[in-house]
Amino acid sequence: VVAGIADAATAGSGVLAPLRTASYAIMSGSDIDGMRRVIGFNTEASSYGAVTLFFASSLLFIRPSRFAGPVCRLIEPVLTLALFVLCFLSTSSSAYLGIAMAVALYGANLVAQAAAASHSLEGHRASLQLALLVVGLWAAVLVVMFNPALAAPARHVIDQAIFHKTGTDSYLERMGWSRVSMAAFAQTGGYGLGLGSTRASSLAVAVVASTGVIGALLLAGFLARGLLAQLSPGGLRPDRDTNGEA
């Protein structure tokens, strides 16, 4: 948060330069239609957006302040909001989609909590938080409807970052990485280049290009087994050994 605020407040003027000691390129001067992309300590906006989204979502859903003192409970909402704001300022399309998913999942979680414990204190808290979330979303919709000029900059940035992403330099560069990775994968006959031998813009392309068809199938099977085990009635229980005995 501190790095993001410093980067945004100084417009990348070099305050964080002594701490950026990497020898590779740091994309600190990129922007979208005049809005500078905040990168904090990271090398580019998309990685900073992913980091801030991860920490913001962790605080939002896990709520570690429940196990801490009252001071942490006061700091946690402010820190969560600051992380989401900095995530938005990264102008990363993936981060924007992640924010939308986090808000949707948080709302669904509040609905489930309110329905499951409607007569308890936790249920009342969930209902209150759900009402505040709905009011906040409606307020944003009303601002966009009745004062479009106020929301025009943010709407324009979202439009450029998501709906017109294919025309940006970032998209062209990332697609170039993926094309090179898949071309190299094809030249190996499907065996893969090896871990760390290529750089791709997506996890799927990186896994296939690096580990090949066999490695990708093994990873897919591992993930599917874990998911199906969690969905099964017994689930994965830590009190059972490999033979399923207590």
The mean pLDDT of 93-111, rounded to a whole number, is: 86
Strand residues in the chain grouped as ranges (E): 31-32, 35-36
The mean pLDDT of 72-93, rounded to a whole number, is: 86
Any idea which of 91-95, 165-169, 205-209 has the lowest mean pLDDT? 165-169
What is the reported pLDDT for 38?
A: 79
Q: Token pair 């874990």 is at which residue? A: 226
Read out DSSP for 86-99? HHHHTT-HHHHHHH
Any idea which of 19-23, 76-80, 132-136, 184-188 has the lowest mean pLDDT? 19-23
Pick the closest to residue 140 from 97, 103, 94 (CA basis): 103
**35 φ, ψ to 5°?**
-90, 115
Any idea which of 42-46, 64-68, 142-146, 160-164 has the lowest mean pLDDT? 160-164
The mean pLDDT of 154-170, rounded to a whole number, is: 63
pLDDT at 40 over 50: yes
Distance from C-alpha of 3 to C-alpha of 87, rounded to nearest angstrom: 12
The mean pLDDT of 23-51, rounded to a whole number, is: 72
Q: Is the whole-model pTM more than 0.85?
A: no
pLDDT at 234 over 60: no
Instruction: Find the angle CA(145)-CA(151)-CA(154) to the nearest 5 degrees.
Output: 135
